[in-house]
């Protein structure tokens, strides 16, 4: 139900009211089209490249320092996190994220990016009340749901006797 009121100012419209359905129709018409397949391909390529890079780092650590795969896994993750923090600090990771979407957000590098971005944005407020208080603003939900998921998986292993622990 649209209503138009005219004022005495040369017949100009003073107010215009739209119904929710009319508004949704107009918004839908002007909504940018998303290329789902293209976005999936970009996410796959960037996420796959990050994983490939991690595998290369792990292989280098194993061959150069004689580490086993298990020993090389923690330094590999640490190096990926450091690379993500450096790229975030330089403003490069954000550009990659805008192009790749979830492909850059899902790996551990995306987690490091969210924490570093929050820290950079709030550094003017001080170390404790700014950086310390706001660093986990975006990453907090990831930590909470990760802990909950780990608890559920752990309970499933205990209940059904999976995992080989006797």
Residue length, the chain?
A: 166
pLDDT score for 15: 58
Q: Is 113 helix (H, G, I), strand (E, B) or coil?
A: helix
Give the span between the Cα atoms of 110 and 132, in whole angstroms. Answer: 19
Give the span between the Cα atoms of 36 and 135, in whole angstroms. Answer: 31
How confident is the model over 48-92, as pLDDT tens digits?
999 999 999 999 999 999 999 999 999 999 999 999 999 999 999
Span 35-55, mean pLDDT?
94
Q: Say what percent of the chain tops pLDDT 70.
A: 87
- Phi/psi at 17 (nearest 5 deg)? -120, 135
Tokens representing 97 are: 């994220």
Domain-located, residue 6? no
Please state the domain count of the chain.
Answer: 1
Domain-located, residue 20? no
Domain-located, residue 10? no
Please, what is the average pLDDT of the chain?
84
Full residue range of the structural domain in which residue 150 is found:
37-160
């Amino acid at each position: 139900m649209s209503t138009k009121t005219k004022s005495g100012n040369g017949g100009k419209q003073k107010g215009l009211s739209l119904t929710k359905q009319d508004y949704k129709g107009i918004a839908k018409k002007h909504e940018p089209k998303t290329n789902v397949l293209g976005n999936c391909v970009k996410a796959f390529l960037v996420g796959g490249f990050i994983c490939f890079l991690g595998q290369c780092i792990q292989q280098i650590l194993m061959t150069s320092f004689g580490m086993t795969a298990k020993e090389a896994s923690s330094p590999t993750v640490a190096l990926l996190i450091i690379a993500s923090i450096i790229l975030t600090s330089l403003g490069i990771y954000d550009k990659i994220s805008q192009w790749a979407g979830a492909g850059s957000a899902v790996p551990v590098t995306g987690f490091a990016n969210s924490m570093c971005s929050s820290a950079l944005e709030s550094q003017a407020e001080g170390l404790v009340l700014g950086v310390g208080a706001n660093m986990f603003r975006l990453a907090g939900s990831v930590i909470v749901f990760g802990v909950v998921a780990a608890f559920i998986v752990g309970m499933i292993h205990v209940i059904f006797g999976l995992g080989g622990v006797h």
